[in-house]
Amino acid sequence: MNAPLPRKSQPPPVSPETELQRQPVFRMPVLAGERVLFPLLALAGFLLLWQAGAAWYANDYLLPGPAAVLLALVEVGRSGMLLEHIGASLYRFAAGYLLAVLLALPLGMLLGWYSRLHRAFDPLIQILRPISPVAWFPLAVLWFKIGDLPAIFIIFIASFFPVLLTTIAAVRGVDRIYIRVARNFGSTDWDLLRKVVVPAAFPAITVGLHIALGVGWIHLVAGEMLGAQSGLGYFIIDARNFLRTDLVIAGMLLVGVMGLILDRLMSWAERQVWSRW
């Protein structure tokens, strides 16, 4: 007598949550010119609200409208002072941010790779990390006097810990399967770190670089208000001293526009590096 044929194994039941995850995410079709049109519409709406608020306030001295701010910006731009302030701010920011990245990246990889070093230094890092960069202002003035160095130091402090902590977490979060496979193929520690750990941790590291970029740029303005004689922070304080609220708002908008440009440049650089991996 023939043995009965084996029954086909049925696939395990799929939960509703898994079924939802398998379904493709609905995305609206991208219209031609949408990337330009929508930001322009949002900007136009912001300018209309600003103009309406200035008209309702009925006091051009306290809340100047967009036209008054634009005229003030043109006035300062023609004098050549505006480019000097922007150049000074970019120099201080580049010095503080790059110094923080150059120190925090290798240190974060070292602490993330060697667990004993991480256990030794983590309490010290967690003590220093919550201290606001603003709390360093008095020491920055005492140590570096007045000039570029206090602002550079504040930017360094503000940018260092986001890069350090995200790098440590990124390295420690690399899938151990990648490391085991690489070791089975005879990779040295240097090749393992360079060819496996860094590419695998890069997406998480870029998050820290982005956070540090924004935090450092914010504290640049605060650092320049501390005692610098140039830069966008000094420009805003100097305009306030002369009761030029139109120039104060113009300086604030310049800070925002420069921050947007830096963020886009950072995203472009990330795509260039990621394309090589």
What is the percent of the chain where pLDDT is above 70?
85
Q: pLDDT per residue over 5-28, tens digit each?
A: 444 444 444 444 444 445 444 455
* 229/88 Cα distance (integer angstroms): 10
Q: pLDDT per residue over 104-149, tens digit each?
A: 999 998 898 888 999 999 999 999 999 988 899 888 888 888 888 8
**What b-and-e string marks burial along 127-153, b requiring 16 or more CB atoms within 10 Å of the CB?**
eeeeeebeebbeebeeebeeebbbbbb
- Does 189 have pLDDT greater than 60? yes
Which residues contact residue 204 at a Cβ distance below 8 angstroms, ignoring those fewer than 6 apart?
A: 166, 169, 170, 173
Which of 188-192, 211-215, 221-225 is the least confident region? 188-192
> DSSP H helical segments within 65-197, as ranges?
66-79, 81-113, 115-128, 137-144, 148-172, 176-184, 189-192
- Who has greater pLDDT, 156 or 187? 156
pLDDT at res. 101: 95
Which of 17-31, 56-70, 192-206, 241-255 is the least confident region? 17-31
User: Which of 207, 257, 205 lies closest to 232 in space, CA to CA?
Assistant: 257
pTM here?
0.78
User: For 195, which DSSP code?
Assistant: I
Which residues contact residue 182 at a Cβ distance below 8 angstroms, ignoring those fewer than 6 apart?
A: 191, 192, 195, 196
pLDDT at res. 58: 64
* Domain spans in the chain, listed from the N-terminal domain onward: 82-276
The domain 82-276 is placed in CATH, from the list 3.40.50.300, 1.25.40.10, 2.40.50.140, 1.10.3720.10, at 1.10.3720.10
Q: pLDDT per residue over 63-90, tens digit each?
A: 888 888 898 888 888 888 888 889 999 9
Which residues contact residue 168 at a Cβ distance below 8 angstroms, ignoring those fewer than 6 apart?
A: 108, 111, 112, 118
Average pLDDT over the chain, rounded to whole? 81
What is the percent of the chain where pLDDT is above 90?
25
In angstroms, what CA-CA distances link 258 with 87, 90, 187, 220? 11, 9, 44, 12
Which of 17-26, 27-36, 189-198, 251-260 is the least confident region? 17-26
- Does 158 have pLDDT greater than 50? yes
- Who has greater pLDDT, 165 or 34? 165
- Of 28-32, 53-57, 101-105, 226-230, the range with the highest mean pLDDT is 101-105
pLDDT at res. 11: 47
User: For 29, which DSSP code?
Assistant: P
